[in-house]
Structure 1
C-alpha cells in the first residue's frame, strides 16, 4: 500500500463519544486534557432526551423535524419542544467547545448517528420504523447529509484553526443488512437492505460533509468492505468482538484506518482501569495477527475505548482516556 496522509497524527488516541455526567464544561475539560492529539465533542446522554445519540442527531436533520412520542423518536409534522431542546443542547455544547478550545489547531472529532441506525430507530408518523419505507430512508439520508454538512461547518467556524473529523455511529448497520431489525410486534423483522443500497446511501453522507469520515460500529460482523468502499477513511470497532481477522486485514491493507477499541468500558473484577501498557499490548497483538509491519501501526491506528463511556464512573472514564492516550504514545515510540 502506498503512503497516505491520515487525518490524525501518529500515536493518536480518542474517545468514542459518550461520557458520564451532565456537566458539559467538565466533560470537555477532561477530553481536551486527556486526548490532546485527537479530542472529540463529548456526548452526555444522562442529560436526558435530546442528548441521546438518536435525539442529538435528530436535532441536526435538515427539514425533517422529529419529536418524542411514548419514549421513542418519530418524524413530526412540525418543529416542536423536543427538537428545540436537542438543538439547544448542541448549541450549548458547541459554544462551550469554542470557549475552551478556541486556539486548538489540530483535528477534532464530532459524532452523529449514521443513516441506518437512524432509520432503524426513528418511527414514521403512521407507525413503524423509517426502515420499512425505502423512500423514507432515502429522504432521511438526504436530510442527514445536509444537516451534517451544516453541523461540520458550524464546528469549523467556532474552531477556525482546527480540522474536523466526522464519526458516523452505525451500531445497527449489521442487523439492518441481515434483516434482523424487529418490527413493533416483535413477530417479524424488516426486510434487509441490500449492500449496494447501503453503500450508496452511506457514501451520500460521507461525500456531502466535505471532511474525512469514520464509521463506528460496536457490534459483531462489521461490514468492513462496505464501509471502506463507501468512502470512509477509517472504522472504529471493539477489538473484543473480532472473530474473523481476514476481512479486517484486507480492509486495512486497502487503506482503511483503524480506530481500535482496546480499553474496556467497565473496570476489571479487581475494580481497576487498564494500564497504558495493557492497552498498547492489546493493539499490538491484533496488528501483529493481521501481519502488518509495526512501522505502520502508529500512523494507521488510533487507540480508543471499546465503546462509549456513558455507563462508567467519571473517575474510570478519565482513567481509560488517559490509558488510551499513553498507549498511543507507546505505540508511536515502538
Structure 2
C-alpha cells in the first residue's frame, strides 16, 4: 500500500451519525459535539460556517464542507444570525433557554428541523464519532475547514447519500457508513491533488525520485528492520543524502516517519479483536508486544489494550494542523 492509498484507506465510519436537517431562515446551530470529523453538504439553500478566530465561510448547494474537531463551530443562514440551538456531545439539541428539542423537532427517520416548505434550507450532515474511524494521521494533516465546491465535486455520492439517509432498510447503517466514507475520500482526493491547498508534506514529497521511493518502501514493507543506511541503499543514495532530503521534504527524519506509520497501522489492526498485540507487533515491525506497547504509550498516551477498549488520550483528540481554511478550486 502506497502512502496515498494508506491515507485514503483509513476512513471507516462505524455507526456514523447522519442527519438531514430542514430549516427556514433565520436559523442557527451551535455544534459542540466534539466529534473528530464532520461532513456538511447543502441540498437546498446555503449556510455559513462560523469558527472562532476565522472569517465566515459560505457553503452553497452541492458544496461539501469537511470540519475537523473537536473545536466547536456554528452553522447559520446568515453571519448575523445568533444560533438558537446547541448540539451537545450526545447529539442532543437544546435551545438557548435550555429546552431539549431533540424529539420535538424530529421529522421522521434521520430527519430533523422544521416542516419543509418553499425556500427551506435542507442540509445533510455526517459525523464520525471517534478518531479511530478516520485515522490519526489523516486527522493530523487536515485543515480545520475544507470546502469542496459543487463545481469540483462531479460525483453522484451526495445524491445517493441523500436518497438513503431517511430509509430504514436491512443493513442501512452499513450503506450509510460506506457512502459517507466514499464522499470523504472523494473530497480528500481533490484536496490532495490541488496545488497550494496545504496538503501534507509527505504527500507532496512522493513526486521526488528519491524520497518518493523511500516512502513507498516504508509503506509497503513496514515490518522490515529498516535503518537510514538500509533505506538509503535501497533507493541508491548515501545515508546523508537521504536523511537530509527526506527531512527537508517530509518534515521529519525517515525513522521518525516510520514510527508514525507503524503506529498508524497498529491502530488500524487493533480494531480486529482476533489479532493479539503480539501478532500486531510482528506485522508492523516491532520485536514483540512490549516494544510495541512502549512505543504506543509514548506516542499516543495510552497502551494498545487501552486504545482497543476505546480509551483515548486528549492529545489524540486534539492533534492537528493550524486553523486554516482550504477551498478547492473549481
TM-score bin (small chain): under 0.3
Q: TM-score normalized by structure 2?
A: 0.28
Larger radius of gyration: 2
TM-score by length of 1: 0.28
